[in-house]
Structures are given as structure tokens and as C-alpha cells.
Amino acid sequence: MVQMAGKELVDISEIRIDQSLSKTDRIKKYIQDIGNPYDFKVGDLEVEISFESDGQSLQDKMEQYFETMII
């Protein structure tokens, strides 16, 4: 766990999923382990997820992104 500006960030690459649990219990345990699913780390990379209330869907954004990669 890393503390940044008063926040402790969990490194999700260190979280282990117990495959013996039901899907619902795995999700509950993951959320419990990560703490804040919108603010975490993957290795040295800090990740903060946010959404615009009137913005496009994630799928639309991803399609636009990949279209720019093709051109």
C-alpha cells in the first residue's frame, strides 16, 4: 500500500482472487481488498477513474480511441 497526499493506494497487482468463492463473494472481497475501486495502483502506476455526468459511455470513448490508433 502506498500513501499519496493523505490517500493510501492499494496495488491491485498484489491482490489475489480466491476462485473457490462464488462470483458475488469474489466481487465483495475484491472491493473490500482494494478499498476504493476508483483510486488504486498497478505496480508504480497510480490510477484514478472518474466519469463525466453528461459524458459519453466508456464504450464510446474506447471506440473513439481505437479509431484514432487506426488512422
Write out the chain's pLDDT in tens, 71 residues: 554 555 789 999 999 999 999 999 998 999 999 998 889 999 999 999 887 777 888 788 888 888 887 65
> Residue 56: phi, psi to the nearest 5?
-75, 160
Give pLDDT, residue 16. Answer: 92
pTM passes above 0.75: no
CA angle centred on 15, ends 63 and 20, rounded to 5°: 100
Q: What is the pLDDT of residue 6?
A: 52
Backbone angles phi, psi at 23, to 5 degrees: -55, -45
Task: Report domain extents, the chain.
Answer: 2-70
Cβ(50)–Cβ(38) below 8 Å: yes
How buried is residue 70: exposed, middle or buried, by Cβ count under 10 Å (0-12/13-18/19+)? exposed
